[in-house]
Each structure stands twice: as structure tokens, then as C-alpha cells.
């Protein structure tokens, strides 16, 4: 049973025919031959829009499709970077998901997705393999801070049920802007990454809590967390006019409000962590607690942990942190938590900064500034990838083995 | 904390403004004011399609939208039946999901969905309430029968972790045609229904296994399980030509092949049940094992259980069973399992037939025929609902309390 399959190929049923040398994306609905990926990683799309005047695929820019017989529009776009990409189609100006793929929540709505496959060897770490599997559980809880019922997903390692006396450390792991609590196990394959790391004894068995970073208190402005960009202008045009307006939150840094992340941090400490520690067999104390996130979730993790170093000993930012935009001052940044490097280094057992190599030098610069200030940190770069899920899968694969040692 | 919220309102964030007297559907993406539901249950939709010539909403028929300023198309459709409805939009002939809602897998693709709310009292049984909550876990397993990695979801009741000595009975619960293993907890709220029943001591705590009924052995024709209808013609036109053809499986009854369900039954008995009984604390024996399903999943449940009455003691069909199309003969139907009513009644502790009142008389007729043949059965009718998820939520709510008594 040495089967190695992409985790996403859960249906196991494919009966449509794509052209030779073009393999249907593993994210397609059962039976859909398109989108398909050629061996050079170019991608062919097909959309049925019999009466349309103009149809585009929107993935790394807009690509005009050409109408063929029977109202089927097609286009082959240039070779794409390996990994998961969100995309959409535009039919006479209507931006929607392509009905040929499963959908994935990002940018505040359910996009289409396409997976450009790596070699089986490169993809092995996030593939379903013949190893013991943990599980991802949906957990409902009521947050007193937000005044709402909320949902998180919790990964428990393969031996969680059988080792009924063992207590486990916990990683709190956050998605990015416009995504939700489903991102890490659906787009990210966090569960399979951990199953494989644990099977190879590279990472300690741990619990991973995947919550939704979108949290506001009653009466607070939620617009930061709602869909923006082209879909927002389409779905909620009154909220995101072309020139900014209500959709553009005020605040100092890159459009984020000055109270960024406050409600989430309060909710995490008040509602989520106590609920998790009541419900699961959790090892106690800060040295058994880590937090990380991607993009906006990385910012949130830095905001939460650097203000609460008494509660967390491990911190990771994947394509997102508290730095990288310039203006870092070890004496004053993050309320002076970096001011005494010795104290910080003794307290925080890991400060991890991950980034895709084509995302720009900001994170590398921040790592250098931290190092110059005497702050120990780990810098990880994913070769050839951008602000996308393959970067973050690789980040988790490098980050998790460093935890709870 | 006597909050009563629709389970689906997980985001807790709504900042778009729908017209007064029109409440955004609970299935909308965060911030989207449309679709919204008026107090008379009529529904207003809005789609941005600036350059389109013709836009329709497809829900209980096709509804032409009218173009307004800024390329926004709108329509208000007549009052709808309460509950969950799949729908799609058509933009110049391109059928897609409406980007304003979360998507839901049905008919083989990710549709949009709208929830027409019931009164809070009527909806209470499938709403998130202040009661102990079980969890739904994603479980990977390798099927030797299908030769694929597969995923199921497993509900464990609220006290499963704390009562670490108790063994629980198991209900195997199937979705319908074109749906998948996500349907029962996403569209159906099976977890919340059970949480509420268990809290009120109406149902025994039980494990529920929600697998994917789409199963074929290597080399078997999978077309029965792929998207058909209008989306199939669009996404996979070569497989489902207008006049039938490859997309139309042969076989005797209503288009189903004569070997219907064989691979699933074999896989359930060979792979799934042993995996579940190895992994969870399961009470042994047929009297602790039930199976039910909706529509095609009801057919599958009847096919599996009636051929394996030594393994199951409870059987339910929600808008689907082995009968209801005429031609029932107690002596010969289902290989004669009903031929001796006394033997059957002694063996099967529950035979449950549920249906929506507007689905036609087939299921009622089948129940009457069974009764006439001396076969004990329970007939449940959901008032005013059709072949849709509210019928099946109500079926589960009536069915589950009858199990494992």
C-alpha cells in the first residue's frame, strides 16, 4: 500500500478527458477535464458561456479566452509557479468562480483554485501517505468577547486517542486576510504535513488550533475583514467605492487600523485558549504554547505574542510579521519587547520568519535588523514562490519541527 | 448566554446594508447584503455583470434580472419554501455560482446557497445553542476496494472525550446524488441536530459516520457519480450530450445501473466499518449499528442494509429507499428479504421512511405496501417541503431519537 496521492484528490473519480499531455487539476470537480496542467506548467482553461461577448481567466493577470464551437471558450496561459493558486473568471464583466473547480475561501469569497503539481517527491510532505493520520475536528464555541458563536478546527495527532494519558503542546495557527478557519487544512494541508512530520519523527506530536482571525467586538467596524478588491466592488459596491471610502479602514500602517488585532487577542486569551485547555489534553504553560500565522495572520501572531510573552514561547510569521516595512527600532518597536536582547532571547525559544523568495526583501531585511539588534531569529525562504499557499506549506514544514524541543 | 443563532452564521461579521425588511441570507459571504430574504420569504438577488446582455437567477426556475445603474442586475423572486436551497446564476449563458454566497457541493459542483429562515423556534433544533457540543472530525483512510485515499467525517457526541470508558453505537449516514461527505454537517447541520437532541435527552449519544457514497472499483464507470444536468453540459459537454449518451448510465430502474451501490457496500463493510471500529470506542454488534441516507443515499442504505441484515438493525431512507416507484412484491423485492414479515420484524428494529410532503406519494405508497405485507415501518412526512435539505434535517431529527433504544 505504498500509494502516494495528492491529498486533494479525495473523490478518486475522474472520467472526463483532457487533451493528452494535460492533466486535470486535482482541485477540479469530479469529471471535469479542465482546467488541466501541461508538463511545462502552462494551464488550459475552458468555460461554457454560449452568449457572452468576452470571457477572461484571472490568474496572474487577465487572460482573454477565445470562443470555439458550442459556446466553449478556451485559453492556455503561460507556465505557472508550482502550488495552489486562487483564480476566477469574468464573463462579460461578471467575476465569479469557475464552476469546473471546487471553491476555496480567500479574499472574502469562494474562489476557484488550481494546483500546479510539483514532482511527487517534492509534494510528498503535504500528500496523503501510508502513515498514521491525525484528524481535524470542527469545534463550536461561544465567544464572550465577540458575542457570537464561532467555529475553529483542531488538529489532533495520530496517537491522541490511543495515548490517553499524554498531554500535548499546542500551536495556534492563523490564516491570512480574506481567508478563514478552513484555510490551513483545505488549502494548506496542515494535517497531512503534520502527519508526515510526526511519522518521520521530525516534529513532536502536537495539537494545532486553527481559528478565524476575523474578530470584532459588538459595535466595532468589521470592514477590515470583509471582501475587498474587485469582488467587493461587485458584491458590495456601496461599501468599497473605487476611490476608497468606507471600505478603507483608517490607521497608521498599510491601511490597518491602530487597534488591529485587539479583539482577536482578547478573544484568544479569554475564550479560545481556556476552551481548548478544558476540552483537550493540553500540556500546561507557555513553553508548550506556540503561535504562528500567514500574512495578516502573521501580523496577528506577532501582535498577540509580543504583547504576551508570558503566555507563548514560540512565534512564527509566514509572509507576515510586525516588521519588514521599515521603521524598526529595537528600543521602541512592539512596545520595546526587543529592547533587551538577552531577556528576549532567554524568553522566546523561537522567532521564525518565513517568506517566498519572490515576495521581496522586506522579511529578510527585518530578520537582518533583528539579528543586528542581537535578537535570535530563524529566516526561512521558499524558493521560487510568491504570496501563496505553497510558501506557507513549506513554512509550516520548516517551522513545526523547531517547536517544543 | 441564552443566545440562539443560526449555525451557519459563523462569521459574525455583517457590515453591508440590505434594504429594510430584507435580511441578508445567513449563507452570504461576510459583508454581502444580497441575496436577502423579505418577511414574506420573497428573495432579492443582485449580481454585478456590467457588460452582460442577460442575467438570470436559477432557483425554482429561471428568473430574469434587470440591469440597473453601475451594471448591477437585480430581481426579487416569489416567496420560497423555508430551508436551504441550492441556486446558481447564468450570465449570458454561463452558469456559475453567485460570488455573494458561500458555496455548497451539490449536483457535482459548488453551487450557491440561500437559507430561507424559519421562526427561531422552528429552527431551534438545527441551531447552535448553549448546550454541550460534539465535534465533527475529518478522517482520512485508504480503501482497498476503490484503491484510493478517501475522506469521511465523523461526529462524536459531547461526552465522547470525557466518558473515556463508554462505547457508542454508530449511525452510518449518507448524502444524496451529486453531494459528498461534507453535505450532512454543512448543509444538514447533523452535528447541531444531534447536540440538541442529546442535550434534551431525546436521542442516545452516538457516533455518526458521514462518508462519500461515490465509490467505484478501479476500471468501473464513474459517470453515475459525476455532475450532470446543465452544469455537466457546460463543464463536461463531451460526457453529457443533450441527447443522453455516455453520461446516461444503463440499467433497469430510473437510470441507475444494475450493479448500483455494489462497490460502496463492499467498501463500507471491508474498509470503513473496520476502520471506524478500530479507531473509535464503538459498541459491538448489529444492534448498535444503523444506516440511513437521503435520496440516492437512501437507496444506497436500503441496498446495503437489506442485503446485510446480519450487520445492521436500523435502516432509514429520507426521500429515497428501495421502493416508491411501484412494482413492490414482498415475496421477491430486495431478494425476498420482506418475504417473511415476522422474521423481518424481529430482526430489524426500525425501518424508517421519510419524505417531504410536496415530493409526491411514492414513499407513502411504499410505506402502505410494506404495512399491507405486515412489515413494521415508520412513515414521516415533512410538511410543506420538497426534495431539499430542510426535509432531511427534519427526517434526522425524527429518526435519531428512535435509534438504539
CB contact under 8 A, B96 and A93: no
Neighbours of B346 (CB within 10 A): 10
Copy the grid coordinates of residue B282.
Answer: 464503538
Per-residue model confidence as pLDDT tens digits over A244-278:
332 333 333 345 666 778 899 999 999 999 999 99
Task: Please tell me chain A's helix, strand, coil percentages from 3-state DSSP, rounded to the nearest 5.
Answer: 25, 25, 45
The interface residues of chain A toward chain B in range 273-332, judged by CB-CB distance below 8 A, are 279-280
pLDDT surpasses 70 at A48: yes
Calpha distance A164→A179 (Å, rounded): 34
Q: What is the mean pLDDT of residues A125-149?
A: 94
What are the tens digits of pLDDT across the range A118-129? 999 999 999 999
Check if A335 contacts B (Cβ < 8 Å): no
In angstroms, the separation between the Cα of residue A56 and the nearest Cα of chain B is: 12
In the A/B pair of chains, how many CB contacts fall below 8 A?
292
Helix locations, B96-255, DSSP H: 120-123, 183-186, 190-199, 229-235
State whether residue B12 sits within 8 Å of chain A by CB.
yes
The predicted complex's ipTM stands at 0.89
Torsion from C-alpha of A94, A100, A104, A110, nearest 10 degrees: 30
Burial A152-183 (b: 16+ CB within 10 A, else e): bbbbbbbebbeeeeeebbbbbbbbbbbbbbbb
- Contact status, residue B234 vs residue B95, Cβ threshold 8 Å: yes
Q: Report the percent of chain A where pLDDT is more than 70.
A: 87
pLDDT digits (tens, 9 = 90+) for A297-354: 999 999 999 999 999 999 999 999 988 777 899 999 999 999 999 999 999 999 999 9
Minimum distance, in Å, between the CA of residue B354 and any CA atom of chain A = 28
Q: Which of B99, B151, B237 sits opposite A96 (nearest CB)?
A: B99
> Taking CB atoms and an 8 Å limit, are A234 and B99 in contact across chains?
yes
Could you give the CA distance from residue A166 to residue A172 in angstroms, rounded to a whole number? 19
Quick check: A5 contacting B, CB < 8 Å? yes
* Residue B225 sits at the chain A interface (C-beta within 8 Å): yes
The pLDDT score that the predictor gives to residue B261 is 86
Q: How far is B214 from chain A (nearest CA, A)?
A: 8
CA-CA-CA-CA dihedral for A317, A321, A324, A328, to nearest 10 = -130
Tens digit of each residue's pLDDT (9 = 90 or more) over A234-252: 677 665 443 333 233 333 3
For position A311, what pLDDT does the model report? 98
User: Does the structure show a pLDDT above 50 at A144?
Assistant: yes
Distance CA A268, CA A143 (A): 9
**Residues of chain A contacting B234 with CB distance shorter than 8 Å:** 48, 99
Q: Which of A286, A320, A276 is nearest to A139 (CA)?
A: A276
pLDDT digits (tens, 9 = 90+) for A177-234: 999 999 999 999 999 999 999 999 999 999 999 999 999 898 887 766 665 566 666 6
Q: Report phi then psi at B286, rounded to 5.
A: -65, -30
Comparing A31 with A123, which gets the higher pLDDT? Answer: A123
Contact A28, A100 (CB under 8 A): yes
Q: With the C-alpha atoms ordered A231, A293, A352, A80, is the resulting torsion angle positive or negative?
A: negative
Tell whether B47 is within 8 A of chain A (Cβ): yes
Q: Do A223 and B15 touch (CB under 8 A)?
A: yes
Q: Does A191 touch chain B (CB under 8 A)?
A: yes
Q: Are B234 and B170 in contact (CB under 8 A)?
A: no
d(CA A388, CA B69): 36
Residue in chain A lying closest to B134 (CA): A139
A261 Cα to chain B: minimum distance (Å)? 15
* Shortest Cα distance, chain B CAs vs residue A226, angstroms: 6
Model pTM score:
0.90
Give, as one character, the DSSP assignment of residue B380: E
- Name the residue with higher pLDDT: A87 or B259: A87
Query: In this complex, do A30 and B226 lie within 8 Å of one another by their Cβ atoms?
Result: yes
Could B12 and A146 be called an inter-chain contact, meaning their C-beta atoms sit closer than 8 Å? yes
Q: What is the pLDDT at residue A6?
A: 38
Q: Which residue has the cell 522579511?
A: A363
Is A17 touching B (CB cutoff 8 A)?
A: yes
Subunit contact A55:B94, Cβ cutoff 8 A: yes
Q: Note whether B189 contacts A: Cβ–Cβ < 8 A.
A: no
For chain A, the C-alpha Rg in angstroms (whole number) is 22
Query: What is the Cα B381 distance to its own chain's centre?
Result: 16
Q: How many Å apart are CA A147 and CA B3, to the nearest integer?
A: 9
Task: Say yes or no: A234 contacts chain B, CB-CB below 8 A.
Answer: yes
Q: What is the pLDDT along chain B (405 residues), one digit of tens a residue?
A: 334 433 333 333 334 456 779 999 999 998 899 999 999 999 999 999 999 999 999 999 999 999 997 889 999 999 999 999 999 999 999 999 999 999 999 999 999 999 999 999 999 999 999 999 999 999 999 999 999 999 999 999 999 988 888 999 999 999 999 999 999 999 999 999 999 999 999 999 999 999 999 998 988 877 666 655 666 666 766 654 433 332 333 333 345 666 778 899 999 999 999 999 999 999 999 999 999 999 999 999 999 999 999 999 999 999 999 887 778 999 999 999 999 999 999 999 999 999 999 999 999 999 999 999 999 999 999 999 999 999 999 999 999 999 999
Residue of A232, A226, A234 whose CA lies nearest to A91: A234
Interchain CB distance below 8 Å, B136 and A138: yes
Amino acid at each position: 500500500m505504498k500509494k502516494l496521492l495528492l491529498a486533494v484528490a479525495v473523490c478518486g473519480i475522474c472520467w472526463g478527458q483532457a487533451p493528452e499531455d494535460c492533466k486535470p487539476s486535482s482541485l477540479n470537480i469530479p469529471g471535469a477535464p479542465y482546467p488541466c496542467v501541461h508538463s511545462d506548467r502552462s494551464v488550459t482553461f475552458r468555460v461554457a458561456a454560449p452568449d457572452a461577448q468576452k470571457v477572461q481567466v484571472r490568474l496572474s493577470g487577465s487572460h482573454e479566452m477565445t470562443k470555439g464551437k458550442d459556446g466553449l471558450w478556451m485559453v492556455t496561459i503561460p507556465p505557472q509557479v508550482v502550488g495552489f493558486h486562487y483564480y476566477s473568471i469574468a464573463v462579460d464583466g461578471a467575476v465569479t468562480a469557475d464552476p469546473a473547480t471546487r471553491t476555496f475561501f480567500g479574499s472574502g469569497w469562494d474562489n476557484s483554485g488550481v494546483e500546479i503539481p510539483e514532482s511527487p517527491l517534492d509534494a510528498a510532505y503535504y500528500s496523503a501517505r501510508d502513515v498514521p493520520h491525525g484528524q481535524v475536528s470542527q469545534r463550536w464555541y461561544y465567544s464572550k468577547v465577540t458575542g457570537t458563536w464561532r467555529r475553529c478546527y483542531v488538529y489532533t495527532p495520530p496517537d491522541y486517542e490511543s495515548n490517553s494519558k499524554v498531554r500535548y503542546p499546542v500551536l495556534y495557527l492563523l490564516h491570512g486576510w480574506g481567508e478563514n478557519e478552513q484555510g490551513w487544512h483545505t488549502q494548506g494541508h496542515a494535517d497531512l504535513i503534520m502527519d508526515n512530520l510526526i511519522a518521520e519523527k521530525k516534529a513532536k506530536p502536537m495539537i494545532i488550533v486553527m481559528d478565524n482571525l476575523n474578530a470584532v467586538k459588538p459595535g466595532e467596524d468589521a470592514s477590515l475583514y470583509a471582501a475587498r478588491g474587485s469582488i467587493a466592488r461587485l458584491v458590495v459596491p456601496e461599501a468599497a467605492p473605487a476611490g476608497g471610502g468606507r471600505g478603507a479602514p483608517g490607521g497608521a500602517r498599510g491601511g490597518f487600523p491602530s487597534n488591529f488585532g485587539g479583539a482577536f487577542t482578547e478573544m484568544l486569551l479569554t475564550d479560545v485558549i481556556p476552551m481548548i485547555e478544558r476540552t483537550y489534553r493540553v500540556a500546561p504553560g507557555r513553553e508548550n504554547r506556540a503561535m504562528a500565522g500567514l500574512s495578516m495572520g502573521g501580523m496577528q501572531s506577532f501582535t498577540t505574542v509580543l504583547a504576551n510573552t508570558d503566555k507563548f514561547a514560540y512565534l512564527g510569521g509566514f509572509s507576515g510579521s510586525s516588521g519588514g516595512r521599515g521603521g524598526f527600532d529595537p528600543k521602541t518597536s512592539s512596545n520595546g519587547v526587543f529592547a533587551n536582547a538577552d531577556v528576549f532571547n532567554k524568553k522566546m525559544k523561537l522567532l521564525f520568519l518565513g517568506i517566498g523568495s519572490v515576495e521581496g526583501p522586506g522579511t529578510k531585511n527585518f530578520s537582518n535588523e533583528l539579528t543586528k539588534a542581537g535578537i535570535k531569529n530563524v529566516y526561512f525562504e521558499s524558493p521560487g514562490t510568491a504570496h501563496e499557499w505553497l510558501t506557507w506549506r513549506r513554512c509550516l514544514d520548516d517551522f513545526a519541527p523547531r517547536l517544543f524541543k
